[in-house]
Amino acid sequence: MTPVPGGRALVRSHVVTGGRGTPSRNTLDHVTLITASREDVEGLEPETRRLVRLCLGGWLSVAEAAVHLGLPVSVTKVLVADLVDSGHVTATAPAAPAGAPSPQLLKDVLDGLRALL
């Protein structure tokens, strides 16, 4: 955890997202898993194209995609939401939506952790 004085200029973020700040869907969070569902990237903006190409390699979280693209998570969410809308990217539903996680999810996490010992 390191505060970066000044940080990245938000002007750039706004260019990347075409000036929009709000994702077109609010179900995306840091650990939403995404992958590419279309290979054609014609007509897409450069950053969006990079995101699709990254997602062509397999599944990864929104947070990981942001790091690999060198973008803030907030910007990446806007881009991912657009790409889900356009059919380029598939996103999983949250495993633990707002409220309590399911007993099955917790049991599976517990089993997985115990297997590490």
Residues written for the chain: 117
105 and 98 Cβ atoms separated by less than 8 Å: no
Instruction: Decide whether 2 or 42 has the Cβ nearer to other proteins.
Output: 2
Residue 15 CB, shortest distance to other proteins, in Å, is 11
Least distance (Å) between residue 70 CB and other proteins: 8
Cα–Cα nearest to 55, from 26, 82, 23: 82
Q: Which residues bind other proteins (CB under 8 A)?
A: 1-8, 10-11, 13-14, 17, 20-22, 29-33, 50, 53-54, 57-61, 63-64, 66-75, 77-78, 92, 94-98, 100-101, 103, 105-117
The number of beta carbons lying within 10 Å of the beta carbon of residue 96 is 13
